[in-house]
Amino acid sequence: MNQDGKRRWVAVVGNPNAGKSTLFNALTGLRQRVGNYPGVTVEKRTGTAFTLHGEAMELIDLPGLYSLNPRSPDEKIAWQVLHGESSGVPRPDAVLCVVDASNLERNLFLVTQVMELGLPVLVALNMVDVAEGRGIRLHPQDLGQKLGVKFIPTQAHRGKGLVELRAALGQTLAHPGPRQWTMPPPLAAAVGQIAAAWRESLPAELRAEGKALELLAGSNSGPEGAKKLAAAWRERFRKEAYDWSAAVVHARYSYLQTMLKEAGIGHGVSGGSWTDWIDAVVLHPVAGWGVLAGMMMALFISIFSIASYPMEWIDAGFSALALRLQGWMPPGILCDLLVDGVLAGVGGVVIFLPQILILFFFLGLLEDSGYLARAAFLLDRVMHPVGLSGKSFIPLLSSYACAIPGIMATRTVEDPKDRLTTILIAPLMSCSARIPVYTTLLAAAVPVALVPVWGKAAAMLGLYVLGTGSAFFLAWVFRKKMFGGGSPPLILELPPYRCPAFRTVALRMWERALIFLRRAGTVILALSILLWFVSSFPRSSGDESINLAGSYAGQLGHWLEPLIRPLGFDWRIGIGLVASFAAREVFVSTMSIVYHVGGEGEGLIQAMRTATWPDGALIYTPLTCLSLMVFYVYALQCLSTVAVAKRETGGWRWPVFMMIYMTGLAYLGAWLVQLVGHALGF
Amino acid sequence: MEENFLNLTQVGAGTEVRVSRLECPPTTCQRLREMGFCENALVRKIRGGADLVCWVCGTRVALSARLAKQILVEHVDGRS
């Protein structure tokens, strides 16, 4: 408990790749209330941890930081939380700094800044096994005494040191000792004056100095007198061409180098490690691309082959449930609602859970193993000509899972134009919600027996390549032609390769499964019931197809048909397009309801294959399926994406632009497929 | 003596150099310094090419060649 008798809040901060999120997961387990997304941590998330004596405390996991001088939006989030300026989270009672023991000099740079916040600090000396493997000898007690904070050695991925950490968190954490690094004279004079002007209203001298440095850096919070003094000193330094911010960095590093040298801690060795051996292949200008293509192909093959077994089980489960319900209940509206509405709609989407989990499993492995940063490095060469840096790759890769975390991950991109470009193209990366649509249409287009698994995987890969290629072309248009300016240079840490922490990966998959099922149980359930209603009423006869044609949904579809007929789509597909405006995967459940197939995946595909135009011609020809798939490659059929784009860009202007350009592109793309297909005689 | 400095792209892979000066915009300079590319810091180039990889402060950092050209260095033995 804190001084007010309330539960304590502890912020968890550290450099990227210091194992912060792994430690957070180890301490909180499944007691996390705010879902995180794959890729980098871009949003603060909270979880409950317990001390050894059972005292509950709230941990706040913050995005990785190199310093407390925020530049990118994710760094600003961390800064706001640490200063008590974040909505929904109180100012932390203490800070748990997670440092990579194999890279102390740079990690402790951030710790020296955190120590100036005026909060109690505890340091988790993480990855001590990696440091020892590099020949670095650590003395946590010595380090603690020298720096003025307590160090606890941990190996978060193996769960080691957690007991000691919980015990330390249970004790009253001390405020850090006095500043150890020496300020250069001109800066010391400035900080002394500014701090004196503020000290009266602040409890600790350390914090006054920290605040003085923030004011010099341009912070706006503080008494007017101190702000004026800071502005005057800034102007003076500018006139004297004195780079005070560089001087601060130098002074901190200089102190840390001396301190670590005295403690007998070096940088270890870089050559000859297996990270270097793997990098020789993975970063090779030719072999590296082969590795990347192989990984992507393995991902898509897994999505089709491994996922097919659990998908069949889910399908069989929903079919059995539908049959049982039909056996229990008398025929009528309620039975129809449950079987054709609820089970067909929800079952048609839940069946794709295994594929989505495989996607997140792969993304988790790539991130945790350290490969993701290498892929970003490799792709920088491709992204530079279109005006982006390799840093945009991680948000774009996350968008393959879902555009929402992808757009949120753009907070790590420092350049505002780069960030906006990445947001605008992120929804073009085929997300997991498109998988059900692609899978269904691929199966409807080509009989399973005629195409082997790798053929379907290649076709799927083709759709992903189309989306990605278009995204890159549009990035070039937006970045170079619309926004102007050059692409930012790449600065990216390449962490050493590690065996992925399966617990962390499993936790992310669990979170994702919950989000997906919650969505299936709320949005998709509600839409399914609504769709069942509008596709079942008004009832005109006992014949289902006549009923559907005369229903509200049928009327809307018929109204739309002239508009979508050039794309090869009939009025029933029109219902699917309108219904899936809120979420793409709803297309499949809508088709299940439209064709009254009661949640059976294979049943829907059969119904689609036999669906005909009034003249008896097949609707779902391979050309129409391709046209529909191309439509879904481009269309922004996701209200959640629009909402998050509005939040991240600060208004409606860019989400509306995104919606218009993507819908236009979808229509144009699908129409061109029909045009070229017919010209070629299909 | 300025003309005698090399930039980071001009040294071979495996070479250890000392950072002499940063010639990039202030915010980029600050980020480079925070990541360990301070003036006088020792840097070892691990890999060259269009983008390059360096070992600095106990970690591997990838840099675009464009940025590496703005990092002026000197050999640790004083050669230029």
Whether the predicted pLDDT of A271 surpasses 60: no
Nearest to A437 by CA among A215, A625, A283: A625
Q: Does A278 touch chain B (CB under 8 A)?
A: no
Predicted local distance difference test score (pLDDT) of residue A4: 65
Nearest to A491 among B35, B47, B55 (CB): B35
Any idea which of A68-77, A412-421, A542-551, A642-651 has the lowest mean pLDDT?
Answer: A542-551
Considering A262, A281, A313, which residue would you say is the last residue of a domain? A262
Q: Please indicate, yes or no, if residue A201 is contained in any of the structural domains.
A: yes
Expressed as residue numbers, the domain containing A222 is 185-262
Predicted local distance difference test score (pLDDT) of residue A103: 86
B26 vs A contacts (CB less than 8 Å): 243, 245
Residue A663's pLDDT band (boundaries 50, 70, 90)?
Answer: very high
One domain for residues A597 and A669: yes
B62–A491 C-beta distance less than 8 A: yes
Nearest to B46 among A66, A109, A270 (CB): A270
Mutant choice from B19, B39, B57, B69 vs A, greatest count of A C-beta within 10 A:
B57
Whether the predicted pLDDT of A33 surpasses 50: no
A246 vs B contacts (CB less than 8 Å): 29-30, 33, 38-39
Q: What angle do CA A598, A352, A37 make, to 5 degrees?
A: 140
Instruction: For A15, name the nearest residue in chain B, comparing CA atoms only.
Output: B35
Kindly state the tokens that stand for A371.
């490969």
A283–B47 C-beta distance less than 8 A: yes
d(CA A392, CA A415): 10
One domain for residues A137 and A92: yes
What is the number of domains present in chain A?
A: 4
Residue A318's pLDDT band (boundaries 50, 70, 90)?
Answer: confident
A105–B58 C-beta distance less than 8 A: yes
Helices (H), A498-566: 502-519, 525-536, 544-550, 552-564
Total residues found in chain B within this entry: 80
One domain for residues A514 and A491: no
Predicted local distance difference test score (pLDDT) of residue A426: 94
B20 vs A contacts (CB less than 8 Å): none
One domain for residues A515 and A488: no
Taking the domains of chain B in order of start, what are their residue ranges? 2-75
B60–A491 C-beta distance less than 8 A: no
d(CA A578, CA A637): 9
pTM above 0.95, yes or no: no
Instruction: Report the mean per-residue pLDDT for chain A.
Output: 83
Residue A5's pLDDT band (boundaries 50, 70, 90)?
Answer: low
Predicted local distance difference test score (pLDDT) of residue B37: 92
One domain for residues A135 and A13: yes
Overall average pLDDT of the B35-60 stretch: 88
One domain for residues A494 and A404: yes
Sheet containing strand A94-100, edge to edge, reads A45-50, A56-61, A8-14, A94-100, A121-126, A150-153
Predicted local distance difference test score (pLDDT) of residue A137: 82
Q: What is the pLDDT of residues A182-192, one digit of tens each?
A: 998 888 999 88
Element (H, E) at A176: none
Predicted local distance difference test score (pLDDT) of residue A65: 86
A489–B66 C-beta distance less than 8 A: yes
Overall average pLDDT of the A408-416 stretch: 77
Overall average pLDDT of the A645-669 stretch: 91
* Homologous superfamily of domain range B2-75: Ferrous iron transport protein A (FeoA) (2.30.30.90)
Q: Please indicate, yes or no, if residue A393 is contained in any of the structural domains.
A: yes
Instruction: Report the mean per-residue pLDDT for chain B.
Output: 86
Nearest to A438 by CA among A417, A413, A419, A464: A464
Q: Please indicate, yes or no, if residue A214 is contained in any of the structural domains.
A: yes
One domain for residues A630 and A666: yes
Q: Please indicate, yes or no, if residue A155 is contained in any of the structural domains.
A: yes
Predicted local distance difference test score (pLDDT) of residue A251: 93
B58 vs A contacts (CB less than 8 Å): 102-106, 267-268
Nearest to B38 by CA among A453, A452, A396, A250: A250
B60–A496 C-beta distance less than 8 A: yes
Nearest to A489 among B30, B41, B64 (CB): B64
Considering A503, A522, A537, which residue would you say is the last residue of a domain? A503
472-501 in A: which are within 8 Å (CB) of B? 489-496
Chain B nearest-CA distance from A227, in A, is 22
Residue A126's pLDDT band (boundaries 50, 70, 90)?
Answer: very high
Whether the predicted pLDDT of A200 surpasses 90: no
Percentage with pLDDT > 90 across chain A: 23
Predicted local distance difference test score (pLDDT) of residue A36: 34
Q: Does A390 touch chain B (CB under 8 A)?
A: yes
Residue B79's pLDDT band (boundaries 50, 70, 90)?
Answer: low
Predicted local distance difference test score (pLDDT) of residue A304: 66
Chain A nearest-CA distance from B79, in A, is 23
Overall average pLDDT of the A14-23 stretch: 87
A268 vs B contacts (CB less than 8 Å): 58
A496–B30 C-beta distance less than 8 A: no
Residue A42's pLDDT band (boundaries 50, 70, 90)?
Answer: low
Predicted local distance difference test score (pLDDT) of residue A386: 85
A103–B58 C-beta distance less than 8 A: yes
More confident residue, A395 or B16: B16
Whether the predicted pLDDT of B54 surpasses 70: yes
Q: What is the CATH number of the domain that holds A88?
A: 3.40.50.300
Q: Is A135 left (phi over 0), alpha (psi -120 to 50) or beta?
A: left
Task: Give the number of other Cβ atoms within 10 Å of residue A179's Cβ.
Answer: 17
More confident residue, A555 or A638: A555
Whether the predicted pLDDT of A40 surpasses 50: no
Q: Quick one: three-class SS letters along A581-620? A: CCECCHHHHHHHHHCCCCCCHHHHHHHHHHCECCCCCECC
Q: What is the pLDDT of residues A491-547, one digit of tens each?
A: 888 988 888 878 778 887 887 788 778 777 777 788 778 878 887 788 766 666 677
- A378-A379-A383-A388 Cα dihedral, nearest 10 degrees: -90
